[in-house]
Amino acid sequence: MGRAFVYVILGGGVAAGYAALEFARRGVPHGELCIISEETVAPYERPALSKGYLLPEAPARLPSFHTCVGANDERLTPKWYKENGIELVLGTRVKSADVRRKTLIIATGETISYKILIIATGFKT
């Protein structure tokens, strides 16, 4: 049996970062929330990619544009997640979800179970 969490956010983009901040503000107990993301870095402000990131002077680079700087709020670095007891499972694709059993299978074959799943995988055209 793999890891088990109360809350799992599937996807580590903008929505996941802002949701994590809200979870922390509401006092989610350490170890209850996990974010699983295919990306290898903590959630960042994707809109900066076509704006500040391109500026030659004072360029916005990680960790400067981790969420939630876009809302002039806290910068959620990997250290922030650690301090708030939120597990980041990065560089990890979720291959399938069994919503009846409340389990996810990740690329390594591990099963991760949850009580509440938040799907934040974004939108692809």
Ligand X SMILES: Cc1cc2nc3c(=O)[nH]c(=O)nc-3n(C[C@H](O)[C@H](O)[C@H](O)COP(=O)(O)OP(=O)(O)OC[C@H]3O[C@@H](n4cnc5c(N)ncnc54)[C@H](O)[C@@H]3O)c2cc1C
Q: Which residues are at the interface with ligand X (CB under 6 A)?
A: 11-16, 36-39, 46-47, 49-50, 93-94, 120-122
115: DSSP letter: S
**Distance of alpha carbon 78 from alpha carbon 86, whole angstroms:** 9
**Cβ 37 to ligand X shortest distance, Å:** 4
- Residue whose CB is less far from ligand X, 12 or 86: 12
Q: Taking the chain, what is the end-to-end CA distance rounded to the nearest angstrom?
A: 36
**Cβ 30 to ligand X shortest distance, Å:** 23
Q: Which two tokens stand for residue 22?
A: 């809200």
- Residue whose CB is less far from ligand X, 29 or 124: 124
**Cβ 51 to ligand X shortest distance, Å:** 7
Contact 8, 104 (CB under 8 A): yes
